Structure 1
């Protein structure tokens, strides 16, 4: 069984906090059961709540009630949810949401919080190719298994870059300063008629001043470049083969042009306007 590259807690975080926005099933189920806890607190006229008081609580206080060993499994889960969600209550009132308890507010209390990130709107832009987005998300999360990390763990015999054979295979090297990567990016610069810097390309794209149409094209190009550079790195590791930089850059541009033609309205002058 492989070790996950990103922890489940971070995967389940919202995209604005650097996650994938996947709901953690345990926390969501517990938040859903919390609706029954809320009913016992604030809906005494419900028939089910009256039955619970008659059969289980029997005149006691709901916050202090402790289930015995011979009751149903389902009721024990309700009591468990009450204990887990207890920090969200004050004097029987749900304090996490002024409108009262909701499953969403219960889940938000249970999930682990992380610092917001600035790159999520770029990576998850609707115009980009999904498989490119996933790799760029892992790059932003520093979750790829580069040789710098593998060598430090004693897994790889060295930390040399697989694309150029020079320098340590780190994020800054392989996606910014590697000789092979720079040749690909320089070719893309020529094809797009823009100057691509030796820096974080997503950050550069965000601050680049141009039309919205061109920015969409550049964003797709940058994410495709990251994806294909990582693909070539893995190809070099497995097969010992590398595509020539000029061929790779042409392939990237062809892929992006074909994709954009189906996703955005192209001006009358043609697809070149996206990059000129």
Structure 2
């Protein structure tokens, strides 16, 4: 356990922050989400990255607790004989000529004072732990509604990050770039009709809506992006249904944003049907392979995969495809035992 100088902690945080936004240690531009928000737990809207300054305090707090509980160690005995000299630990004040490390330990002790009752750490049962002290220092915030929609086992990480950015409305849309003086024109890079906001890009844009129509031509999908991730979190359905439908939404947002950036940087754009093809349900094949069968509360029963094939719904209503992990050709499942996308996702009216 080391007492780190603030300069070192700030440098560590800078490296972590730069790597998050630019995959390097030398990122120089403004970040899209504040570091304090990033360091919150995922259920509170952050990424779960530890605040290094608070974490170091929590680790130093272990030394404070050792002295408070009179732990049997050489270091505690040395502190008792050279610093405390019979004084009560909670009432002790360091002298001005003490080392900066000792003064820092005493400062952390003062911040932890309210956590002790009768000399015992009372914040969590079982005694002191750095994780418990870290949470105590950070405090708690209300839980966001969309955390389980974004951070679920069905969504791949880059789509999860995209969903997290949308939830914080942190994408560099034209509306945001105009405010910063980067661009002058406010029109959408995908349709060129309306001003580009997050709401327009995923909800109102003709291109985005066409991508969704191509994804499932039998269902009129709409994006209620103003509360998109919250909508995912309260969507009715089984755990499997909700997991897949949320993953599809995150994948769609990711692909639409990729095409928006392609239009801006390369002045080219894939056709909506091709973009829809980039978000197939086949990406969930590995997940289903772990189970070897799928169980849905839709009255379809359980269908065991013959020979280890994976029954994954296709994008066409009424059919399902068999994805063979051994690399064999896929074929339509018999109509009697099909797992169609509509059955998996439930009713998608108004989605």
- Taking the aligned partners of 1:41 and 1:62, their CA distance within structure 2 comes to 6
Give the equivalent residue in structure 2 for 1:271.
312
Of Structure 1 and Structure 2, the greater helix share is in 1
Residue 205 to residue 84, structure 1, CA distance change in 2 (3 Å): closer
- Taking the aligned partners of 1:212 and 1:92, their CA distance within structure 2 comes to 46
Residue 5 in 1 paired to residue 32 in 2? Answer: yes
- Taking the aligned partners of 1:212 and 1:113, their CA distance within structure 2 comes to 27
User: Any idea what SS the aligned residue of 1:246 has?
Assistant: helix
- Taking the aligned partners of 1:216 and 1:113, their CA distance within structure 2 comes to 27
Match of 1:260 among 273, 278, 284: 284
1:42 CA drift (Å): 2.1
Match of 2:177 among 119, 139, 150: 150
Structural mapping, 1:166-181, within 5 Å:
166-181=193-208
- Taking the aligned partners of 1:170 and 1:195, their CA distance within structure 2 comes to 22
Give the equivalent residue in structure 2 for 1:196.
221
After superposing the two structures, state which structure 1 stretch, 232-241 or 51-60, moved more: 51-60
Residue 231 to residue 95, structure 1, CA distance change in 2 (3 Å): same
Structural mapping, 1:99-114, within 5 Å:
99-111=126-138, 113-114=140-141
Residue 222 to residue 99, structure 1, CA distance change in 2 (3 Å): same
1:194 CA drift (Å): 4.1
Give the equivalent residue in structure 1 for 2:66.
39
Give the equivalent residue in structure 2 for 1:22.
49
- Taking the aligned partners of 1:8 and 1:113, their CA distance within structure 2 comes to 16
Residue 198 to residue 260, structure 1, CA distance change in 2 (3 Å): closer
Bigger relative contact order (CA 8 A; separation at least 6): 1
Give the equivalent residue in structure 1 for 2:254.
227
1:57 CA drift (Å): 1.5
RMSD: 2.3
2:38/2:48 contact within 8 Å kept: yes
1:187/1:246 contact within 8 Å kept: yes
1:225 CA drift (Å): 0.4
Structure 1: segments with no counterpart, 5+ residues: none
Structural mapping, 1:27-176, within 5 Å:
27-43=54-70, 46-90=73-117, 92-111=119-138, 113-176=140-203
1:232 CA drift (Å): 0.8
1:139 CA drift (Å): 0.6
Structure 2: segments with no counterpart, 5+ residues: 1-27, 294-302, 314-338, 343-351
User: Any idea what SS the aligned residue of 1:252 has?
Assistant: coil
1:245 CA drift (Å): 0.8
Residue 45 to residue 130, structure 1, CA distance change in 2 (3 Å): closer
Aligned length: 271
- Taking the aligned partners of 1:30 and 1:211, their CA distance within structure 2 comes to 42
- Taking the aligned partners of 2:204 and 2:192, their CA distance within structure 1 comes to 12
Match of 1:242 among 269, 272, 285: 269
2:187/2:196 contact within 8 Å kept: yes
TM-score normalised by L of structure 1: 0.88
1:132/1:227 contact within 8 Å kept: yes
1:223 CA drift (Å): 0.9
User: Any idea what SS the aligned residue of 1:271 has?
Assistant: strand
TM-score normalised by L of structure 2: 0.70
Structural mapping, 1:202-213, within 5 Å:
202-213=229-240
